[in-house]
Amino acid sequence: MSDVEIPCQQATTTTQETVEVTYHVVQVNLQMTVENPDVITQNTSLVNAMRRGMANLLNVSADAVTVTFETSRRLGGPRRLATSLTAVFSVSFTDATAAEAKRVEVEATTPADATQEIGAVLTDVGYQGTVEVVGKTVAVVEEKVQVPVTTVTTSAAVTTSSAATTSSTSTSESSSTTSTTTGADESTSSSSSTEEVTPTHTDDAMGQRLLLPTLLAILAVSSL
């Protein structure tokens, strides 16, 4: 009889913990001169367009770029107010070496390169104002973030049970053996009966041989 393993219902355990992750953030500050900063900063399409322009400059995905704005006003050419818009673009890396390589790459670009990239994407979404990048700084800063981590553990117990089909097969084989033994006993009994009959026939023949001389003697006396 063999054993069969039967899996039981799985048990799932979920645990949550918080781990600290260090990001290396490449920050690109662009100082720009614009006519009306609110037209840009209050328009989601224009903001997303600026993110795409910086992504092209950084050679990364636009989804990886975030941007915040700072505004200030100054007196420009013959008593004309000019507005300075500072856009702070950020891209996070988990690897410090990759972040430093990206900083060096962006540092090599010029304000004119940034003006071309930003101006092109703004024009594509319908912006009709002017934008000029007049200054640029690039730095890498570390940012530590608490990140929740969920762990799911699944376990299953296994029980062992005797197989019913195997027990049935063993019983069938025992019956077959018993049946064979019974047939052999019947054959032996028949042979024994035949041997017992043979001595009976032998005794009758001997009796007849002993009686014959007696009869011959009686016949001889009668003839005298």
Q: And the tokens for 153?
A: 């553990």
Give, for 16, the enclosing helix (H) or strand (E): strand 3-34
Compute CA 29 distance to the chain's CA centroid, rounded to the nearest angstrom: 43
Look at residue 223 in the predicted model and tell me its pLDDT: 56
Look at residue 197 in the predicted model and tell me its pLDDT: 40
Helix/strand/coil percentages in the chain, nearest 5: 50, 40, 10
pLDDT tens for residues 102-156? 999 999 999 999 999 999 999 999 999 889 999 999 999 999 988 898 888 887 6
Q: Which residue has 């197989």 as its token pair?
A: 163
**CB-based contact 50:34 (threshold 8 Å):** no
Look at residue 155 in the predicted model and tell me its pLDDT: 76
Look at residue 12 in the predicted model and tell me its pLDDT: 87
Look at residue 30 in the predicted model and tell me its pLDDT: 96
Distance CA 96, CA 98 (A): 5
DSSP state of 36: -
Task: Give the range with max mean pLDDT: 75-79, 83-87, 90-94, 191-195.
Answer: 90-94
Stated pTM of the model: 0.58
Look at residue 143 in the predicted model and tell me its pLDDT: 92
pLDDT tens for residues 12-70? 889 989 989 999 999 999 999 998 899 999 999 999 999 999 999 999 999 999 999 98
User: What residue spans define the domains of the chain?
Assistant: 16-149, 163-224
Tell me the torsion sign for CA atoms 128, 134, 138, 144. Answer: negative
Look at residue 72 in the predicted model and tell me its pLDDT: 73
Look at residue 36 in the predicted model and tell me its pLDDT: 87
Question: Does the structure show a pLDDT above 70 at 212?
Answer: no
Helices 44-58, 96-107: axis angle to 10 degrees equals: 100
Look at residue 194 in the predicted model and tell me its pLDDT: 39
